[in-house]
Amino acid sequence: MLLTLNIRDFVIVDRLTLEFEPGFTVLTGETGAGKSILIDALSLALGERADAGVVRAGTERAEIEAEFDIRSLSQLQTWLDENGLGGDPGVCLMRRVVDAGGRSRAFINGRSATLQQLREAGEFLVDIHGQHAHQSLLKTSAQRELLDAYAGLGRQARETAAAWKEWQALRRARLEREKNAAAYSEELERLEWQAKELAALNFSASEWAELQSEHGRLSHAVSLMEGAQYGLEVLSENDVACLAQVNGVIARLNNLVEYDPGMKEVLDLLEPAEVQLREAAYSLRHYLQRLDLDPERLSQCEQRLADIHDAARKYRVSPELLPELLAEKNARLDELRGFETGGGELHREQAAQARYLDQAGQLSAARKQAAQALSAKVSAAMQSLAMAGGSFEAALTPLDIREGAGGGAHGLEEIEFLVSAHSGLPPKPLTKVASGGEISRISLAIQVITSKVSLVPTLIFDEVDVGIGGGVAEIVGQLLKQLGSERQVLCVTHLPQVAAQGDHHWQVSKSSREEAVVSRIRVLDRNSRIEEVARMLGGVDITDTTRKHAKEMLGV
């Protein structure tokens, strides 16, 4: 529901803040007062195109901000979150800024947005009926969704769409396989010998690390042996071995400790060193006993490394990635072998097609019944809306089902609203109806009939009373009031019969200020409403008779 609309420097509006209520609100005023400015401003906030002409003369920019209560619009809240445009819980702020040069910026919940995002969000929020572009009922997709919602077929439609997607995915896979059968066969043959070659290598990532370590040790065995032998000799086995000399120093200092206890500190350092040197000599001796010069094993290691490097170069990967490459080729082999045995795949495709056709057939039957009922009700409503002899039809046009590709994600038919405004005229798509007033009145009839299932919470009607008067105008007002009991309805009107039905009444006027014309909107109380309806009835000179008539119309 629309909560507030803030307008700044837009056309002939300088500053205007409007707070909206639920129910049916009418806007009236003298011709040229700017009654449609509110709708134009809101349309701008909902993503309509703009140019520099909307900026009030002498100002730098026009700004429009609309605040909506979206607590009941879970789909919009999901859309906002998915697009990174979420705001305060239960609220959506739509803002548009147009500068004097014609450049435009859009914001949703304070975040920069594209005009397309503004339009997409706006489609959840407001429908504007009349000679304005923002009208979802002119879209065949909205017509289909409205019929399904009217018939309570939302779940069936979603299930049918899911069945269609499953069938088409299997069908595309089969066609792709058939189209590329020769290429798949060639790829399969190549992969089989590649996988066989890699499997024969019998190589693992853990072996690579072990092999490199072993090769390094074997290829440097002589150097390792010489180094270990040299260390052992220096430590313990030659004439001036370290251990013998350290032991000699320790023995001599032990004899001197009794003369000077200070020597004890040096001994405490040397004795652990002697132990460490002895352990080092033992480890070197043990290492020499285990170290083996094995030319044959070294040759084996070098050949194994050469085989691995050859394979890595051939497949252009590093050696440690060869096992991963084998796994990838085996996975692709499984996929291609599945393509070769396509019998099961074809069976699954045929089963998916049968499921889709069954669900879509049930959906079509239910749609046909709902279309007949909706067509009859809207046609009946048109008779009381100055379209005597006119008719409405929710037409179902079957889609082509040849070659197994029939139907569509939305079922076996296209849905389009056809209208004949007067007796004798052939039905035409709603989008081709020439009169904006007729479109508005037909839309009004559809909206009233489907009001309990339509999802858009705010409806705005402009020029619904063009070319009508008297009793028809009163019926239009009653329908709008009835619709206002379900949702928020705003109507720009020049007919007192419509204005008198409003739950709320706003008057639009214009005045001159500092050599500039500005537009004003005020909420009418009981007395001022009587005066406004009387003005609409009697023109400039308001008499007691017109006031009395106005009171009767207002029921006060």
The domain ranges of the chain are 202-339
User: What distance in Å separates the CA atoms of residue 461 and residue 445, rounded to the nearest whole number?
Assistant: 12
Q: Residue 283's pLDDT is what? A: 83
Task: Kindly report the pTM of this predicted structure.
Answer: 0.58
- State both tokens at 3: 């909560």
- The pLDDT of residue 437 is above 80: no
Q: What is the pLDDT of residue 224?
A: 65
pLDDT at 280 over 50: yes
Please give the Cα distance from 489 to 461 (Å, whole number): 8
Confidence of residue 501 (pLDDT cuts 50, 70, 90): very high
Half-sphere exposure of residue 314, counting CA atoms within 13 Å on the CB side? 11
Q: Are 254 and 267 in contact (CB under 8 A)?
A: yes
Q: Name the least confident of 132-146, 197-211, 513-527.
A: 132-146
Q: Lowest-confidence range among 67-76, 149-158, 305-314, 342-351?
A: 342-351
Q: Which residues pair with 530 in a beta bridge?
A: none
Two structure tokens written together for 83: 């697009």
pLDDT for position 133: 40
The pLDDT assigned to 518 comes to 76
Tens of pLDDT, residue by residue over 383-425, are 887 788 889 999 999 987 654 445 789 999 999 999 987 787 8
The predicted structure's pLDDT at residue 81: 92
- Span 348-371, average pLDDT: 93
pLDDT band at 51 (very low <50, low <70, confident <90, very high): confident
> Which phi and psi (to 5°) does residue 505 adopt?
-135, 125
User: Which strand ranges, in their side-by-side order, compose the sheet holding 488-492?
Assistant: 126-129, 458-462, 488-492, 24-29, 504-513, 516-523
The DSSP secondary structure of 183-247, one letter per residue, reads HHHHHHHHHHHHHHHHHHH---HHHHHHHHHHHHHHHTHHHHHHHHHHHHIIIIISTT-HHHHHH
How far separated are the first and last CA of the chain, in Å rounded? Answer: 29
The residue among 239, 241, 221, 222 whose CA lies nearest residue 231 is 241
pLDDT score at 65: 95
Report residue 133 as tokens: 């572009």
Residue with tokens 């085996």: 330
**Contact of 450 with 149, CB cutoff 8 Å:** yes
Per-residue pLDDT, 443: 77
**Residue 25 reports pLDDT greater than 90:** yes
Range 122-148 average pLDDT = 78
Mean pLDDT value across residues 289-318:
77
Exposure on the CB side of residue 216, measured as CA atoms within 13 A: 6
Does 494 or 519 have the greater pLDDT score? Answer: 494
Is 221:293 a contact under the CB 8 Å cutoff? yes
Which residues face 458 on adjacent strands? 126, 488
Q: Tell me: pLDDT of 435 over 70.
A: no
The token pair that represents 165 in the structure block: 């997607």
Residue 134 — pLDDT band, cuts 50, 70, 90?
Answer: very low
What type of residue sits at position 350? Q
What residues are paired with 495 via a beta bridge? none
Q: Token digits for 194?
A: 């590649």
Q: Which two tokens stand for residue 144?
A: 């289909």
What pLDDT was estimated at residue 265?
Answer: 86
What pLDDT band is residue 499 in, cutting at 50, 70 and 90? very high
3-state secondary structure of 510: strand
pLDDT at 403: 45
Give the H/E segment covering residue 29.
strand 24-29
